[in-house]
Structures are given as structure tokens and as C-alpha cells.
Structure 1
Amino acid sequence: MTVRLVSAGHHFINFANQTYQWVHINRYGLPETDEPDSALVATLISHEWFGDNYATEPEPGGDPDRHGPYWRERITPDCYDLVDAETAERRLRSWSEQFAPIPAHLTPDLQREVYQPLRAADRVYLLRDLGPGAFHDWGWVHNEFHEFLLVDRTNRTLAQVVATDD
């Protein structure tokens, strides 16, 4: 069986606090499937929305050859490591608060769009740092790039959470 992801929209949270930090969430509906998570990740990597450099294009899928700082062709399901939700949340909170406090008006949005889905996920995957050898021609533009995949088979959703800066 081939897994098909159905896009369920995206959400953008701009910190707008002079840190140039933001979080972008792509959501997908999952079919009821017994396919392993690696098949879901492979399907996501091949999805049209995955081609996004997260620096110049305002919409998902605007750069089919790049993904964040990396050449898209360098990313495989094996590049994602299983992590627990607490570790992922600590990493996101540490990143988001490293330069300035998060604006108070963003706290409910981050809770609803990032932290609650993170805690509800059956499994969380982190795209590991692939290093400069996988950078595309200007991949160094992001100071930090964090990507998490939230697999929630109960609610039949997959969320891709990217936290970075530009």
C-alpha cells in the first residue's frame, strides 16, 4: 500500500521580537494504515510541500530542490531520529527563548499549535543536523534549523514543525 498524505493546512508563528525567529507547521491527514513510520516519512519527503527553503518562499513547496538548509535529495527517512516529547519540547523552548522572552501574546498560539500536538503525538522524530556537506548553495543562512515530525495515528495526523530564523 502506498501512503497518501492529505494536506490539512499550515500555520506560521512569527516571533516578531527582533530575533528573526519563527515556527512553521505543516499539517497532513493520515489514512488509516499499518505502514511503518518510515513509509510516512518517505511520503512526506516526496510531498510537494516538502520543497521549502524556509527563507525566501512564503508558501510551502516553493523550492522543490531545497529543504531548509539542505539539498532535498540528501534527506531520507534515516535522517530522522526518534525522540521523546519532553526532549523535543525542551529543545524547542530552549531555542525559542535563547535571545529574548517569547512575546506573551504568542504563548497561547505556541501552546495550541506546537506544544499540545507535540505531547499528543504517538511518536516524535527529529531531523538530525546533516552538516555542511548536505547544505545547499546558501544553506548556511539559518543560524539554527530544528524540524520535528509529530506522528499521531490516533487522530490520524502528521505535523511537520520547523523552528528556525532568517
Structure 2
Amino acid sequence: MQTAPGLEYEGTSFINFRDFPEEGNPSRQWIDIKRFTITEPPATARELLSALIGNQHFRDDYIGGGVDPAGTRHGPYRIDRITPDSYTPASTDSVIALVTRWVDQCGVVPDALRQVIDREVFGPARTATEIVTLPRLDSSAVNDYGFIHTEFHEIVTVDTTGGTLRLIVAADD
């Protein structure tokens, strides 16, 4: 497992909406959840976000290539343009509303899929001691692949009591 200051990568969960075809939802949406253990509680949330941005598992362009340890992209953005100050504080209710709106826009959502989203996304949001989201950054931060996704939503949940951090990306292709 790759260790960054204060964070240890534990693994990734991937929710592919096409794996829930019970009601014919043709969506190409998915949610990628990277799980980390907080190994050394930082003095500030900013330090924890710095550790996340510096972790090799953050270097994922989310277009199929996976993590590139030497990569320069994170989703649609250049990594060198993302700082802890890029993130915006969020609440559990705002995360649930954002993800629910995004999920519901593409048709029928099977109950089994809603249950997985509730467990893997809303559960960590409910237990988080802090939640931040990455808003759409300005065009100078966009990498050469730009916005290949119609929507790209990034949520970071931190549970200092449980010692966990979740990097949650909800997007489409």
C-alpha cells in the first residue's frame, strides 16, 4: 500500500450503473470511491487535503487509464492547479442533494443501486466530521482532455473519529 504523509491507501470501490440493469437504465454513470486510512492525524484539514493531493492515487484522470503515479491529471484538471484552497466546505445534506440530483437525471434508478449509493456515498457523508467538494475550476486549470465527462463531481469525506478519508468521484462517460 502506498503511504503519503498521514494517509494510507486502502483500496477502491467502483459503482458502475450499468451493473444494475433491472429496470433498463441505460446510464453511463459511475462512482469511484478511493478509501484511505488517516495514519497520523494532521493538525488541520488543509494538511490532510495536501496529503491527499500529494498521494499517487489522486493521479487518476478517470477516463479509463487508472492511477498514473507520474501523472499530471486529476479528472479534468491539471494536478498542479489543485490546492487545498480549491475545495469548498459542504454539508451532508448538500452532498445527498447533489448526488441524488445527478443520479436521478438519467432515468429509472433501481432500488439495489440506491442502496449501494446510500451505503458507499451517503454513509461516509453521514459519519464525516468534515466534507469538502471540488467545484468546477476555471478554464486555466483544465487539462488537455478537458471535460470529457458531462458532469464531474468530487467529494472528500473525512471521519477523524473513525480515522478514514474517502475520495468520491461521480461522473459519466
Is the aligned partner of 1:99 residue 2:106?
yes
The structure 1 residue matched to 2:10, chosen from 2, 8, 11, is: 8
* CA shift for structure 1 position 3: 3.5
Runs of 4+ in 1 over 3 A off after TM superposition: 59-63
Is the aligned partner of 1:131 residue 2:133?
no
Q: What is the distance in 2 between the residues matched to 1:110 and 1:129? A: 22
Is the aligned partner of 1:120 residue 2:127?
yes
Q: What is the distance in 1 between the residues matched to 2:97 and 2:56? A: 30
Query: What is residue 68 of structure 1 aligned with on the other side?
Result: 75
* C-alpha contact 1:5 1:44 (8 A) present in aligned 2: yes
Q: What is the distance in 1 between the residues matched to 2:162 and 2:68? A: 25
Query: What is residue 146 of structure 1 aligned with on the other side?
Result: 153
* CA shift for structure 1 position 12: 0.2
Q: What is the distance in 2 between the residues matched to 1:56 and 1:9? A: 17
Instruction: Give the secondary-structure state (helix, strand or coil) at the position aligned to 2:32.
Output: strand
Q: What is the distance in 2 between the residues matched to 1:140 and 1:131? A: 12
User: Once the two structures are aligned, what percentage of the paired residues are identical?
Assistant: 35
* CA shift for structure 1 position 32: 4.4
The count of aligned residue pairs is: 164
Query: What is residue 45 of structure 1 aligned with on the other side?
Result: 53
* CA shift for structure 1 position 49: 0.3
Q: What is the distance in 1 between the residues matched to 2:49 and 2:40? A: 15
Q: What is the distance in 2 between the residues matched to 1:63 and 1:11? A: 22
Give RMSD over aligned pairs. Answer: 1.6
Instruction: Give the secondary-structure state (helix, strand or coil) at the position aligned to 1:139.
Output: coil
Listed as ranges, the gaps of 5+ residues in structure 1 are none
Listed as ranges, the gaps of 5+ residues in structure 2 are 19-24
Normalising by structure 1, report the TM-score. Answer: 0.92
* C-alpha contact 2:6 2:41 (8 A) present in aligned 1: no
* CA shift for structure 1 position 63: 6.7
The structure 2 residue matched to 1:27, chosen from 18, 24, 35, is: 35
* C-alpha contact 2:7 2:40 (8 A) present in aligned 1: no
Measured against aligned partners, the alpha-carbon deviations of 1:111-135 in whole angstroms (never above 9, x if no partner) come to 1111111111011000011032211
AA in 2 matched with 1:125 = V
Q: What is the distance in 1 between the residues matched to 2:68 and 2:43? A: 25
Q: What is the distance in 1 between the residues matched to 2:128 and 2:146? A: 29
Normalising by structure 2, report the TM-score. Answer: 0.89
Measured against aligned partners, the alpha-carbon deviations of 1:35-91 in whole angstroms (never above 9, x if no partner) come to 10000000000000000011121x334671100011111100000011111011100
Q: What is the distance in 2 between the residues matched to 1:34 and 1:56? A: 32
Q: What is the distance in 1 between the residues matched to 2:12 and 2:102? A: 21
